[in-house]
Structure 1
Amino acid sequence: MLRSFMPTALMIVVPLASHGIASAADATQSVSFDVTTSNCKDTVVEMKQVCAPKGWHLIEGALSYRSQNGASRIEAIRVDSRCFKVTATATPLGEDCILNICNCRGRGWVKGDIVFTGTPE
């Protein structure tokens, strides 16, 4: 039985401190994700946008996965010099169905962090 996957999306804006930035250490921002599917067939997508204050731009750091299953992943895409859109996609492993009796091959999840460093323009 072929089933379609319907992604679910949630957008959260994570601003850096907008005033009083004195150094790159002050403009460093860590983004964390803990995204899990609720079943074996529907993909879940969570998005966060990270922006530096005016006069600063962001540099993408290393992505650190704490746990993941299947094709689940975290991706960062530069929006402009000040902002990144970070997307976490939890993709389940699907299910096997015979005569309307289904076996779940596994839910999807992704847990991880990515650090962005601010630098003056």
Structure 2
Amino acid sequence: MPQADRAEPGQATLNWGDLMAFRLLATELNFTRTAARLNITQPALSVRIRRLEQALGVRLLDRNTRVAHLTASGRLLSDWANQAARSWTEIQQVVADPRRSPPDGRTTHLNPPTYRSRTKDRSSAAMS
């Protein structure tokens, strides 16, 4: 049985905290300020970013003693991390209130009609 913390071959295991730390760093482009905003030390932030780079097998930032610059891979991951954070916020809202639709009007598998019909089908089948 595979362990939960191991990725399938060819797949990276990403830590959400590392990804969100990178997302903030991609905005700040400064390790000291980012670490202060996250209430962690600068070395702890460096460990998070290094772990993310190792998991993905790419360099995300070009660093010097004062500033960081995103690489092409870093820009792609920054865009993806921003979308993932928006999606996470949306799913939290939808789960908290399933009657609520996503802000852009899309339907999701959590919208009430779909959810209710699945639940109703299961309970009907169980009673038969």
- Larger of the two Rg values belongs to structure: 2
Task: Specify which structure has the higher proportion of helix.
Answer: 2
Please give the TM-score of this superposition, normalised by the length of structure 1.
0.21
Task: Specify which structure has the higher proportion of strand.
Answer: 1
Please give the TM-score of this superposition, normalised by the length of structure 2.
0.20
Larger relative contact order, structure 1 or 2 (CA cutoff 8 Å, min sep 6):
1
